[in-house]
Amino acid sequence: MEFTVKFSPIGKRVMENRPRVLLDMARQAGVGLKSLCGGKGKCGKCKVVVNPANGVTAIERKLLTQDEIAEGYRLACCTSVKENTEVYTPASSITEEQKLQIAGKDVEVKPLPPVRKFHLVLPKATLSDLRPDLQRIKERLNRKYKVKVKNMDIKVLNIIGPTLRDSDWSITVIVRGNEIIGVEPGNRTKESFGIAIDLGTTKIAFYLVDLLTGAPINICGITNPQTAYGEDILSRIHYAGSTRTNLKKLKSEVLKGINLAIKKICRESRVEREDILEATLVGNTAMHHIFLGLPVKQLGLAPFTMATNEPLEIKAREVGLEICCGGYLYLPPLIAGFVGSDHLAMLIASEIETEEGNLITIDIGTNTEIALKTKGRIISCSCASGPAFEGAHIKHGMRAATGAIERVNINSKSLSVKVSTIDDKSPVGICGSGILDAISEMLRVGIIDSSGKMNSGYKGVRRIRGGKSLQFLLAKEGRREITVTQQDVSEIQLAKGAIRTGIEILLEETGLKVHDIDGVIVAGAFGTYIDPLKAVRIGMFPEIDIGKFTQVGNAAGIGAKAILVSKKFREEANQLVKKVEYLELATHSDFFEHFTSAMRFPKIK
Amino acid sequence: MEFTVKFSPIGKRVMENRPRVLLDMARQAGVGLKSLCGGKGKCGKCKVVVNPANGVTAIERKLLTQDEIAEGYRLACCTSVKENTEVYTPASSITEEQKLQIAGKDVEVKPLPPVRKFHLVLPKATLSDLRPDLQRIKERLNRKYKVKVKNMDIKVLNIIGPTLRDSDWSITVIVRGNEIIGVEPGNRTKESFGIAIDLGTTKIAFYLVDLLTGAPINICGITNPQTAYGEDILSRIHYAGSTRTNLKKLKSEVLKGINLAIKKICRESRVEREDILEATLVGNTAMHHIFLGLPVKQLGLAPFTMATNEPLEIKAREVGLEICCGGYLYLPPLIAGFVGSDHLAMLIASEIETEEGNLITIDIGTNTEIALKTKGRIISCSCASGPAFEGAHIKHGMRAATGAIERVNINSKSLSVKVSTIDDKSPVGICGSGILDAISEMLRVGIIDSSGKMNSGYKGVRRIRGGKSLQFLLAKEGRREITVTQQDVSEIQLAKGAIRTGIEILLEETGLKVHDIDGVIVAGAFGTYIDPLKAVRIGMFPEIDIGKFTQVGNAAGIGAKAILVSKKFREEANQLVKKVEYLELATHSDFFEHFTSAMRFPKIK
């Protein structure tokens, strides 16, 4: 009898009609589970939560903690399934490669690119056919493909003559709207690529896509080089807004980084940079403005006025972006001074408009954007959650890189701490999901109370040398100690408090209660790696049934990709932006009241 | 009783009701006659031909030759007029300043510029009015002036925020079509200028114009810096067509020259370069293509195919032209591989389409373009007349500069030669009109025969040292002799033969005879300075009644100015170009027959 195994939160399904080992089924579904030992029951990396839960094997008893077994954790290599089953794959069990590509919901995009290539074989110019080159091309395009063009990029006009004559009058013409943006010798219609860029305050993600099929070719990510000039948006605005030179510097830094990344992704994918015919870029308003060289001083002062919020189509070379010479960069519209096109792209990717019910989307980043959709309204706000979840302002904080503590378990009786690190290397610091886990566990076992105060009576809690403040020891490697300090707890309280405040004010604004919420979509790199249970436990999210959470990965990037590949999605974004209502939190009358309460931790029941 | 004095070929009129000295009337009419002595009857520079002719004064007998008096020449300072009179002002009597501005026919241009400035005072952004800067501007433009714009230049978007905030929200917006191409603080609507550029093979002329009134502000001319890389079009094409680097070099040389000239004309006219909102450029096809960086190799080989002949609107900065940052360069359409937009502009300026009768227009330059209009047809051709009339390839040839012989008279009996030079300085060489005069006079007195052969029996004719070839002495200054050589005569025969061939083939093509021609419009700097009588005498022009000739100065420049100032003229040019039939002379079956015959001089009656 046939049965289905569903992998959540990735949202992949496999149909099967005989008992099979979960690890194999995950491979078949394209879910990249970690498995250092190759499925031999030795590494204990392929942890999943199986529902309904199976019996426990001897190997599992050895490699899993008692708490884990009680919570339903099993090893995918030791578990056979023979009925309808739901398998929860924690982020820590997913391979790095998979993490980058993670996307709970795949948006179906039928390619309708704004750029098309046409192959033409033209009659040669003779004394009885004196038509200029451009006219010759235009007339053929119209006759053969019913495509009417008006303009030709001046730089393309520069090469049209030799291209025609060197290729025996067989050329490929690149058309965008009513403009010819490129000509190439021979037939190169198949080489049509685009690049979608998600320009975050901290990270920049690149998606190289085949424009003809919409298929992803490659993905890569870099750290925003502007980070050296300020970690959060406000410090970036302050720096860029103080002098024209500073703005130019930030612009050129990010541009240099982006151009290098494009060069690299092309080389790795064996794609010519000149075959990238179109680019899209999404980002928060400050990143968008700085990238274009727009003044941002005004974004740092009330009323936080944007230079423009309109969708922009700019010759890529006009802003220094290195793709095909005549190619364009498309920037979807912005929503407000602190809610940019990344949020819009995320709303597009999560299909919030067409989904039923009352939905919340949360894109956690240095700035966290939250939208609430209910009865045809979409209200968005922005919370300055800061870079703490990216490891900044945390004593032993670090990026999600090798050696970062990403999971923490504290035994509630012995108070012994078990950490797991990225790539299973010796711990060198704590990344975002690690600090969230640590604080959630510290709260659970009572090391901190609901005010966030650390309790000195617990094992592992000690004074910071030369100070009065307390810290809790997570791991010790030789003489290096990795701790969570009282100050770290406060930073996380500020961050999660900001997010929770946004959610609360949105609920208040719409008159909805927590139990009215039908779904929560969590996006962003950090949002994808966290355990929603623990986020609820520390009060970052309200107490919403854990089954209502979906983790969708970099939805802004997925949206940027859809907007890149399809004119329909551009139109959709342009329509959607008009519907989104912006709620300014900073000037909201109840802000401080909510914020004060949201910084506290929930009482442990 | 009122009477009219008409100054030809400049085409200015003065109404008067009492007898007055001609020199004063010329001043009143704005005709710049030379007068070194200030009208005291001493310098003899203000020679004019008066019709009906006056009696001759004693001063005139002293300062004019008998031949001149017989031909009707008088001095404007010695001649009083009291009835309707026609005054012919030879180019040699016109001041330099006037020469540059000379225009037989002023085209009436009602300004309808493609660029307009609007002054806006905007409401400040507040927390209750969060509109982005661009939206705020767009909405105000629409509400106050009913002007709808769509796009904004990205570089302008970069300065909009600070401009608004530094100028207390009072700004001037520059609009072109549906694009905002500039913003400035305060009200600067009056500062609206444009520049028309006539890019010739040898000379480049600049016309700075007030876009609001159409009034000329300033004019200047420079030598095309590309001249160093080849004097005529074909050598320029050969150079630019051989490598991409050469093309770039020619492009950058001419661009550098043009940008410097614009800077200079602005400084001289106290106009900010940023206030030049639009530019137009006309030129022959090769100059047009090289300026834009378009490949020209194909222009040098049959079938001489243009990259494009369409009118182009390009961001000036895209081609390196330094005007207002967001401003555009407009290039009217081209006619054929060797008939460019300068010819079209000339046709526009001469209003050939609306004039009655069978008309010929001749724009003499390194390449000479000729058009014949008859019964609704306009047929154009191009003759490779070469740079001889610009002083090149002539032994003692030079540009029309100080010390250049510009007029030559040979006494038919004594064979004594009288020359006049530009600025009345010692002769240092011969310019175009001087060589034309010299050969015409040599022909008249029999020094050369109709085959062009120099006759050794005449006074002043001698062998070139160390050679067999003959030369004729025009002037001697110390040890420096200025002569016309047999080779010079041949060069002029080639040049005038090319022009005459063009005229003859056009007549043949239309079945017209010489006596059917109702008017000849001669344009171009050289064409303005020559004496049409002498051009007819050497057979450059057919024997057409001298009264039918009009010399219109730089008509291409006048046309470029009209196209700059008025969208109506752009549309007119776009319509006219469709009507012009192009006749390829080089492949015309009767070319060589006509050319052989046209190189001979007419027999002197």
Q: Do B297 and A134 touch (CB under 8 A)?
A: no
Residue A100 has pLDDT above 60, yes or no: no
Residue A101 has pLDDT above 50, yes or no: no
Q: Please list, residue by residue across B239-269, b when 16 or more beta carbons sit within 10 angstroms of its beta carbon and e when fewer do.
A: bbbeeeebbebbbebbbebbeebbeebbeee
Per-residue confidence (pLDDT) for residue A98, from 0 to 100? 45
pLDDT-based confidence at residue B13 (cuts at 50, 70, 90): confident
Average pLDDT over residues B337-343: 94
Q: Residue A307: its chain B contacts at CB < 8 A?
A: 132-134, 157-158, 160-161
Per-residue confidence (pLDDT) for residue B103, from 0 to 100? 45
Write the CB contacts of A517 (distance below 8 Å, at least 6 apart in sequence). Answer: A358, A359, A360, A542, A544, A548
Give dist(CA B282, CA B343) in Å, integer: 8
Task: Determine what percent of chain A is predicted with pLDDT higher than 90.
Answer: 60
Average pLDDT over chain B, rounded to whole?
Answer: 90
Long-range contacts of A424-429 (CB under 8 A, 24+ apart): A424/A36, A424/A45, A426/A477, A427/A403, A427/A474, A427/A475, A427/A477, A427/A482, A428/A398, A428/A402, A428/A403, A428/A404, A428/A477, A428/A480, A428/A482, A429/A391, A429/A396, A429/A397, A429/A398, A429/A403, A429/A404, A429/A405, A429/A482
Average pLDDT over residues B524-542: 89
Q: Which residue has the higher pLDDT, A20 or A322?
A: A322
Residue B324 has pLDDT above 90, yes or no: yes
Per-residue confidence (pLDDT) for residue B102, from 0 to 100? 41
Highest mean pLDDT among A67-76, A216-225, B42-51, B186-195: B186-195
pTM: 0.81
CA distances in angstroms from B323 to A140, A399, B196, B318, listed in the order given: 37, 49, 12, 11
CA distance to partner chain B, nearest, from residue A314 (Å): 8
pLDDT-based confidence at residue A103 (cuts at 50, 70, 90): very low
Interface of A with B in 119-138 (CB under 8 A): 125-127, 129-135
- The tens digit of pLDDT for each residue in A353-393 reads 888 899 999 999 888 999 999 998 999 999 988 888 877 78
Average pLDDT over residues B211-225: 88
pLDDT-based confidence at residue A434 (cuts at 50, 70, 90): very high
Q: Do B307 and A157 touch (CB under 8 A)?
A: yes
Average pLDDT over residues A562-576: 96
Average pLDDT over chain A, rounded to whole?
Answer: 90
Per-residue confidence (pLDDT) for residue A39, from 0 to 100? 80
pLDDT-based confidence at residue B222 (cuts at 50, 70, 90): confident
Give dist(CA A426, CA A420) in Å, integer: 9
Interface of B with A in 267-296 (CB under 8 A): 292-295
Average pLDDT over residues A469-495: 92
Q: Which residue has the higher pLDDT, B152 or A25?
A: B152
* Of A87, A60, A94, nearest in space to A75 by CA: A60
CA distance to partner chain A, nearest, from residue B174 (Å): 17
- The tens digit of pLDDT for each residue in A134-186 reads 999 999 999 999 999 999 999 999 999 999 999 999 999 999 999 999 999 99
Per-residue confidence (pLDDT) for residue B104, from 0 to 100? 43
Per-residue confidence (pLDDT) for residue A106, from 0 to 100? 57
Residue B30 has pLDDT above 80, yes or no: no
Lowest-pLDDT range of A410-419, B102-111, B179-188, B492-501? B102-111
Flag whether residue A584 sits within 8 Å of chain B, measured between CB atoms.
yes
Name the strand (E) or helix (H) holding A328: strand A328-331
- The tens digit of pLDDT for each residue in A72-85 reads 889 999 998 888 88
Q: Residue B242: its chain A contacts at CB < 8 A?
A: none
DSSP B325-381: TT-EEEEPPP-BTTB-HHHHHHHHHTTTTTS-S-EEEEE-SSSEEEEEEETTEEEEE
Per-residue confidence (pLDDT) for residue B491, from 0 to 100? 94
Interface test with B, best of A154, A583, A584 (most B CBs within 10 A): A154
Write the CB contacts of B506 (distance below 8 Å, at least 6 apart in sequence). Answer: B360, B370, B371, B372, B379, B381, B583
Per-residue confidence (pLDDT) for residue B215, from 0 to 100? 86
Residue B142 has pLDDT above 90, yes or no: yes
Flag whether residue A160 sits within 8 Å of chain B, measured between CB atoms.
yes
Residue A321 has pLDDT above 80, yes or no: yes
Residue A104 has pLDDT above 50, yes or no: no
Average pLDDT over residues A530-545: 93
CA distance to partner chain A, nearest, from residue B269 (Å): 31
Q: Residue A308: its chain B contacts at CB < 8 A?
A: 132-135, 152, 157
Q: Do A303 and B584 touch (CB under 8 A)?
A: no
Contact B331, B341 (CB under 8 A): yes
Residue B605 has pLDDT above 70, yes or no: no
Per-residue confidence (pLDDT) for residue B107, from 0 to 100? 66
Residue A318 has pLDDT above 60, yes or no: yes
Average pLDDT over residues B167-181: 97
Per-residue confidence (pLDDT) for residue B51, from 0 to 100? 84
Lowest-pLDDT range of A562-566, B39-43, B310-314? B39-43
Q: How many residues does chain B have?
A: 605
Q: Residue A314: its chain B contacts at CB < 8 A?
A: 154
Residue B602 has pLDDT above 60, yes or no: yes
CA distances in angstroms from B238 to B200, B231, B232, B284, listed in the order given: 17, 11, 10, 15
Average pLDDT over residues B191-209: 93
Interface test with B, best of A169, A299, A305 (most B CBs within 10 A): A305
Per-residue confidence (pLDDT) for residue B374, from 0 to 100? 95
Residue B482 has pLDDT above 70, yes or no: yes
Q: Which tokens sit at A198?
A: 């998600």
**Chain B residue at shortest CA distance from A582:** B130
In one letter, which amino acid is A294?
L
CA distance to partner chain A, nearest, from residue B347 (Å): 22
Residue B556 dihedral angles phi and psi, to the nearest 5°: -60, -40
Contact B250, B239 (CB under 8 A): yes
Q: Residue B162: its chain A contacts at CB < 8 A?
A: 295, 297
**Chain B residue at shortest CA distance from A303:** B127
Lowest-pLDDT range of A44-58, A253-267, A549-563, B529-543? A44-58
Per-residue confidence (pLDDT) for residue A330, from 0 to 100? 98
Average pLDDT over residues A427-431: 90
Contact A552, A521 (CB under 8 A): yes
Q: Residue B125: its chain A contacts at CB < 8 A?
A: 298, 303, 305
- The tens digit of pLDDT for each residue in A275-315 reads 999 999 999 999 999 999 999 999 998 889 999 999 999 99
Contact B334, B285 (CB under 8 A): yes
Contact A566, A559 (CB under 8 A): no
